[in-house]
Structure 1
Amino acid sequence: MIDRDGLMDNECASKSRREAIGQLAFFGSAMAILSGRAAAQNGAGSGSYSNAAVALAGQVAPSSSEAELEKAVKIARAMRAGPREITSDATVAEMDHRGNMTVLRQGSNGWVCTPGNENKVGDPPMCADALALQWFNDILAGRPAPTIKTPGLCYMLCGATQHSNDSVHDKTSPAIPIGPHWMVLWPFDAKHCGLPTTVRDAGAWIMFAGTPYAYLHICGTPWVGNEYTPGTEPRWTMQYVPTKTAPR
């Protein structure tokens, strides 16, 4: 996510040796705080805390307290879960297992980004609109079906882990790693739309198919591919080849 904006190249080119050493010191402090606060579970971990800490280098004063460092890393991690057009004005908050929010930074656009917990399966960093948050709260409350009346949107561009592709209530199965993705939270019918129902590293599928919590899962970011501009030459990837002649 850092390479997308060219942040590391620009910063490293402009920093002096002394500043670079200071950045490494910050990184070590932030990671020590985070690793000391939670015991890692087998299979859990999205690996994006380190990206967030590096991205914050030079933005937090060396004299910052432990609490300030931890808060800054959490905010950076949350902001890498969604597109900048959303995260720049989103509220950043921590969400507990009951859906209660602790605001880390107040926003103004109605979106909420959460840092998640890389040491817990099923708690990835995410950016969600109000409807998506209600969808997640319905799960946490154990409701048999979501209560939203229109589709919700959620980004998880740092990737995620979860226990199951079949049941939203599974809390014990081994972790399934999933790459960067975004979701349309609405009860999609896999049979009606013809989409697959199995986990994959690209493309789209219906998660929790056949349940009230089925939704459209798109693995990858919406920004891949070349943009169309006037004068662009189309080059199609589909090709026709001669049909093989059956032996006589």
Structure 2
Amino acid sequence: MNRHHTLAWFACSVLSVATLSSVSAQQHTMPRSSSDQEIIRSAMAAAPPAIAKDATIIDVSKEGKIRSVRKGTNNFTCMADNPSTPGPDPMCGDENAMAWAQAWIEHKDPPAGKVGFMYMLAGGTDASNTDPYAQQPEPNNNWVKTGPHVMVVGAKGMMEGYPRAAMPDTSRPYVMWAGTPYEHLMLPVQTSKPMGKTARR
């Protein structure tokens, strides 16, 4: 499963949680299991502590069932590492980023005037740099490897001066999916220590 499967998984999960009227208050007052603590720890690895500590944490089971593990107080939602991918890829995004991701999933134009931010500080799996819907490497789809990064999405037309090459240097900022409605800025970051896969389930 590539990075964009993870992004789709995350966006669908957040959107599904958002459509629920509310998560039972009882769920948030019951003691959390050790598994929940692992999920929270993995999800919080996606973003800086100042963001992660107040973010909503969700979990998606192998069967696709979505569960709110912890209700947050800011507009960020974080999801733990996707166990189906080979590398660590917990993700954390704001509401505008989720609106952008929904548009991408539905093959629609992203909402105008909504710049969003997503963190993947623990890393990310690989993807095509030119085809937003590529499922695997092909001779001409410019597959790239990603490490820890943040994404600025919904900013089409505001990324002048950043490289737009089909095969970019992924150790530097670059525009991914350039020329499509979903072009976004990829900003690699260096973390203080390497992140491994989270052992859970």
Helix, strand or coil: the match of 1:119? coil
Q: Percent same amino acid at aligned positions?
A: 28
Helix, strand or coil: the match of 2:145? strand
Helix, strand or coil: the match of 2:37? helix
**1:122, CA displacement in angstroms?**
9.7
Q: Does 1:186 align with 2:154?
A: yes
* Aligned equivalent of 1:134: 99
Matches within 5 A, 1:165-184: 165-173=129-137, 176-184=144-152
> Which ranges in structure 2 are unaligned for 5 or more consecutive residues?
4-31, 193-201
Are the equivalent residues in 1 in contact too, given 2:149–2:187 (CA < 8 A)? yes
**1:187, CA displacement in angstroms?**
4.0
Task: Pick the structure with more helix per residue.
Answer: 1
* Aligned equivalent of 2:123: 159
Matches within 5 A, 1:11-90: 68-90=33-55
C-alpha change, 1:93 and 1:191, in structure 2 (3 Å) is: closer
Are the equivalent residues in 2 in contact too, given 1:161–1:176 (CA < 8 A)? no
**1:82, CA displacement in angstroms?**
0.4
Find 1:206's aligned residue among 175, 179, 182.
Answer: 175
* Aligned equivalent of 2:57: 92
**1:162, CA displacement in angstroms?**
3.2
**1:104, CA displacement in angstroms?**
1.0
Task: Return the letter of the residue paired with 1:204.
Answer: P
Greater radius of gyration (CA): 1
Instruction: Please provide the CA RMSD for this pair.
Output: 3.5
1:70, 1:195 → 2: CA distance?
A: 42
* Aligned equivalent of 2:8: none
**1:176, CA displacement in angstroms?**
4.3
| TM-score between both structures, scaled by the size of structure 2 | 0.65
| Cα offsets for 1:98-118 (capped at 9, x unmatched) | x98521111101111111414
| Cα offsets for 1:221-245 (capped at 9, x unmatched) | 599xxxxxxxxxxxxxxxxxxxxxx
Helix, strand or coil: the match of 1:104? strand
Between the two structures, name the one with larger relative contact order (CA 8 Å, sep ≥ 6). Answer: 2
Helix, strand or coil: the match of 1:113? strand
C-alpha change, 1:152 and 1:222, in structure 2 (3 Å) is: farther
* Aligned equivalent of 2:24: none
**1:186, CA displacement in angstroms?**
2.2
Are the equivalent residues in 1 in contact too, given 2:2–2:126 (CA < 8 A)? no
Task: Return the letter of the residue paired with 1:125.
Answer: P
> Which ranges in structure 1 are unaligned for 5 or more consecutive residues?
1-40, 44-66, 224-248
Are the equivalent residues in 1 in contact too, given 2:97–2:154 (CA < 8 A)? no
Aligned length: 158
| Cα offsets for 1:76-135 (capped at 9, x unmatched) | 111010001100111111358xx9852111110111111141423799211111001111
